Amino acid sequence: MLRTIGLTKKFGGLTAVDNVDFTIEKGMITAIIGPNGAGKSTFFNLISGLHPPSGGKIFFNNRDITSLKPYQTARLGIARTFQTTHLFEQATVLENVMIGHRLRTKSGIWDAVFKTKRLKREEKAAREKAYEALEFTGLVGTADRLVSDLSQEEKKRTAIALALATEPQIIFLDEPAAGINPEETEKLGQLMKQMVSKGITVCLIEHKMQLVMSLADRIMVLNHGKKIAEGTPDEIKNDDAVIRAYLGGGKSA
C-alpha cells in the first residue's frame, strides 16, 4: 500500500532519516519503534509531505507521492496525528472534527457569501461525517464541549476523529498513547483494531512496548535514522541489534 525506497532526510550535517526502505501492507497494523531521536517522527513528516526528502522515493498505491504537499497526500487518503495535539482549543470538539472533512468539499468564498445550495449541502455532509467519526472514537458526548476543557486522552481521541473525518485509507499515529494511563492505553489499542476492521490501515510510532507487541503485525526499528531491523513482534523481541539499541537500552529508551 505504501512503500519507501532509499528515503533520506538531511538537516545540514545531520542525517535524520538514512536510506530507509520500508513497506506497509494494506489492512495491517505496522509499528515504528526506536530510541528518542531515531528519526521516527521525521519519517512520518516525509511521508505526509511536511518535509521534502533529501533523497529516495515514496509510493502510495503505486503512485509516486515524493514531492506532494500535505493537503495533496491527505486528499489521496493519508492522514496523521502528531505527538502533541494540534487542535483549536477555543472551538468545540465537533467544530474541530468537521475541519477534517473540508478537504473533500468544493465550496469557496462565493458559496459562503451567497449561502449557496452547495455550501449548505457540504456543511451538512461535514457535520454528518464529524458525528460519524465522534461516534467511532467514543466522543459523541463531548461534541459541544470546548477542546480546552478536555482531558489529554480525550484530546488524543479528538485528533484521531479529525483524521478519520478526512476519509483516510491509512492513518499514521505519532505516539498516540503518550501521557495516558494503562486503561486508556488499552482502549486506544482497541480503537486501532476497530480502524483496521473498518478497512483503515494503521501505522504508529510508540514507546509503550506492551501496546506495540500486542497490536502490531509488523515492526520496523530505527536507530540514528537507519533501519536496523524489521519483522514480526517475536522476531523483533529476539533481535540482538534491537535489544542493544532499544529494548535493552536502559536510559536511551
d(CA 23, CA 164): 22
Is 114 a residue whose pLDDT tops 80?
Answer: no
The mean pLDDT value of the chain amounts to 91
Three-state secondary structure call for residue 96? helix
Residue 130 CA to residue 93 CA, distance in Å, equals 9
Report yes or no: 221 and 33 within 8 Å, Cβ to Cβ.
yes
Q: How far is Cα 23 from Cα 223, in angstroms, rounded to an integer?
A: 18
Q: In what order do the strands lie in the sheet with 201-205?
A: 78-80, 170-174, 201-205, 29-33, 218-223, 226-231
CB 199 within 8 A of CB 14: no
- Nearest one of 125, 43, 133 to 96, comparing CA atoms: 133
Can you read off the three cell numbers belonging to residue 203? 501505522
Does residue 250 surpass a pLDDT of 50? no
pTM beyond 0.85 = yes
Average pLDDT over residues 210-238: 95
**Residue 121 confidence (pLDDT):** 81
Return the CATH fold of 86-167.
Rossmann fold (3.40.50)
On whether the 1-77+168-253 domain is CATH 3.40.50.300, my answer is yes
pLDDT at position 228 is 95
Helix (H) or strand (E) holding 197, with range, is helix 182-197
Spatial neighbors of 229 by CB under 8 A, at least 6 apart, are 219, 220, 221, 235, 236, 239, 241, 242
pLDDT at 86 over 90: no
Q: Where are the domains of the chain?
A: 1-77+168-253, 86-167
User: How does pLDDT run across 149-170, given as a tens digit for each residue?
Assistant: 999 999 999 999 999 999 999 9
